[in-house]
Structure 1
Amino acid sequence: MSTPRPAGSPISLGRRPDASMTLLNEVTERPLDPGYAAAAQARAAGTAPRYGAVSRVLVLLAAAALGLGGVWAAKALRAPLPSGESARAVLIEQIRERIAASEELTAQNDGVRTEINDLQVTALGSGDAQVLDESSDLAVWAGSTAVHGPGLVITVEDSVRAQNNEPGTQEQRVQDFDLQVVVNGLWASGAEAIAINGHRLTAATAIRTAGEAVLVDLQPLVTPYVVEAIGDPQGMRTSFARTSAATHLSTLSSQFSIPSSVTPADDLVLPAGTTSGLVNVTESS
């Protein structure tokens, strides 16, 4: 019969304390792979296969070919694509095509809107002149009719390096925030109507960025960005110079090489903006 183990005595499992670290033990105790060890022993005993001069030359040529191929592949991957084949150039070309199509549709829309206004004047007649005047004023402020008059033209464009698609020039491109600051500064300076690259701004206009393109009412624009504002040229220019927008343009020029200019204009012609749909509002009882 076996003698029972006294209480409190340890149980001997017969295992090494480091039995769970087999991989580490192999690495520390046998650093040389068995295959390499066998090859070394064979060379020491003189039984290892011998390679002739031809084999050595072939190995050298293969190594040189692999090295040259790696260098060529690295240079090919790092070399910039031609401007005509780059993705940005293709994107800009597509944007220009879409802009041309959009401008054509906008011109057709303006013609229909003019026809509607003429029919409205005919329907109201001369007896409702006050209503016509009020409607005309509201249309100007809402941006639903074309306007012309003196004003300011502010031009902002990407840096020269950014226009050449040089790497590391993302911050040297005009962003949506930059145009928002300029537009807000013009409104604060007394502008009566504003357009960016021919797109009239209204109370519902959104200036956003999608990828590398700036969108105005979902219409993609490309550099240079021409901001036209109708109002008193000298008064607006003086007031704009006192706003944070002027400081922002100066910062863009000094820190990001983004040029800009502010010039007065004797007569600007701004098209009508996109007319928003009417929203039904119901009053709760």
Structure 2
Amino acid sequence: MSSLGGYDLSAGRDAHRADAPTRIPVPSLLRSLLTEHLDPGYAAAAQAPRRRGRVSEMAWQVVAAVLVATVFGLAWTQARDTASGVRESQQVLVGSVRSAEAAADTAAERRDSLTAEVDAERRSRLEGDATGRQLLTDLDQAEQAAAATPVIGPGVTITVTDPGMSPNLTDVSKQRVEGSMQVILDRDLQLVVNSLWVSGAEAISVGGVRIGPNVTMRQAGGGILVDNQPVSSPYAILAVGPPNAMQDNFNRSAGLQRLRLLEASYGVVVNVSGGDGLVLPAGSVRDINFAKQMGLK
């Protein structure tokens, strides 16, 4: 029996049976009205916006993909142009630095040559009498104290090798940061130099720069400047003096104890050795200005 009241597909076929109810077939139009509540035209109209929505969504996705690709293309082009400009700027700066270094080396050679000529002329004029020779002796002592003359002699060499340099050239002079690749700081080298003076050194150089009365050693970002000249690892510290006594005293100094602590804690490589014929260059000579009290009005 159908779910529709009074409708049976086999209606009329069993009418000969007694007491059998008579089923009235339901017309197809009435059946469609009862079962199909939405007209086919409405269903098609309802499906059309969905299709248009899907098409519109796909179109927006394509537009978004095109925009993303355009943005990435522009970013890549800009990055390529910027990288090219950065490389050109770096090449220009490197060229300028090398040119300045070459000019500085030429000027230093010229200065040394003129200094040697002046010294030879002065000695030739003063060596003729006793007074002049005494002046030369006093002058030599003053120049040696001022580190104004090169020194050759026996002594001690301390080589300190940093485990690595950090690419980040930020200011590390305040503290030693755990995990930083740079370990040796200006205060470490200062302590070593002071310990060598106490141990009996007569002349000292750090990184090829002579230590004199007006020479400073300080941190500048991630580098160390000695007399405003950059020095880098491995740091070579040369000290001219009695090698045996000086090395024995330095082995008990606070400077070597600091280096050994850094060696054990951070992997710094420290090498202390004695030797003959150490060559220390002359240091920079600067004019010393003295302040004087002016008369009060």
Q: 1:206 — aligned with what? A: 216
Greater radius of gyration (CA): 2
Go from structure 1 to structure 2 and tell me whether the alpha carbon gap of 1:150 and 1:171 turns closer, same or farther (over 3 Å shift): same
Instruction: Look up the equivalent residue of 2:111 and give its one-letter code.
Output: N
Change beyond 3 A, Cα 1:262–1:169: same
Identity %: 31
Closer, same or farther: CA 130–166 of 1 in aligned 2, 3 Å? closer
CA displacement at 1:222 relative to structure 2 = 2.2
State whether structure 2 residue 127 is matched by structure 1 residue 127: no
Q: What secondary structure does 2:118 align onto?
A: helix
CA contact (8 A) 2:168 2:222 kept: no
Consecutive unaligned residues of structure 2, counting only runs of 5 or more, are: 1-46, 76-82, 170-177
Q: Does 1:272 align with 2:277?
A: no
Secondary structure at the counterpart of residue 227 of structure 1 = strand
Q: Secondary structure at the match of 1:204?
A: coil
Give distance in 2, aligned partners of 1:146 and 1:266: 15
Q: C-alpha displacement at 1:59, in angstroms?
A: 4.5
1:241 equivalent to 2:237? Answer no
1:184 to 2:199 alignment: no
Are 1:137 and 2:136 counterparts?
Answer: no
Measure how far apart 1:103 and its partner are: 4.4
- Encode CA deviations 1:75-112: one digit per residue, 9 max, x unaligned: xxxxxx9xxx8x99x99998787666544433332222
Correspondence for 1:159 among 144, 156, 163: 163
Q: Residues 144, 237 of structure 1: CA spacing in aligned structure 2 closer, same or farther, 3 A cutoff?
A: same
8 A contact 1:234–1:264 mirrored in 2 = yes
* Closer, same or farther: CA 174–104 of 1 in aligned 2, 3 Å: farther
Q: CA distance change for structure 1 residues 156 and 135 in 2, over 3 Å: closer, same or farther? A: same
Amino acid at match of 1:122: S
Task: Tell me by how many angstroms 1:228 deviates.
Answer: 1.0
Relative CO higher for 1 or 2, CA cutoff 8 Å, sep ≥ 6?
1
Is the contact made by 2:158 and 2:270 (CA closer than 8 Å) also made in structure 1?
A: yes
1:101-120 paired onto structure 2 within 5 Å: 102-120=104-122
Residue in structure 1 matched with residue 23 of structure 2 by the alignment: none
CA distance in 1, matches of 2:95, 2:111: 24
Look up the equivalent residue of 2:142 and give its one-letter code. L
Mapping of residues 39-54 of structure 1, within 5 Å = 51-52=53-54
| 1:256 CA drift (Å) | 2.1
Cα deviation for residue 57 of structure 1 reads 9.8
Aligned partners of 2:163 and 2:181 also within 8 Å: no
- Mapping of 1:57-96 within 5 angstroms? 59=61
Q: Secondary structure at the match of 2:224?
A: strand
* 3-state SS of paired residue (1:155): strand
Moved more, 203-212 or 273-282: 273-282
Q: Please give the root-mean-square deviation of Cα atoms over the aligned residues, in Å.
A: 4.0
Distance 2:238 2:104 in 1: 19
- Report how far residue 118 of structure 1 moved: 1.7
How far residue 158 of structure 1 moved from its aligned partner, in angstroms, is: 2.1
* SS of match in other structure, 1:205: coil
Counterpart of 1:115 in structure 2: which amino acid?
E
Change (3 A) 1:108 1:268: farther
1:134 maps to a residue whose letter is D
| Equivalent residue, structure 2, for 1:33 | none
Q: CA deviation at 1:251?
A: 1.7
CA distance in 2, matches of 1:269, 1:173: 28
TM-score w.r.t. length of structure 1: 0.64
* 1:52 alignment partner, SS class: helix
Residues 1:227 and 1:166: Cα distance change in structure 2 (over 3 Å): same
Aligned residue-pair number: 226
Change in Cα spacing, 1:225 to 1:105, as seen in structure 2 (3 Å) is: farther
User: In the TM superposition, what is the alpha-carbon distance from 1:123 to its structure 2 partner?
Assistant: 2.6
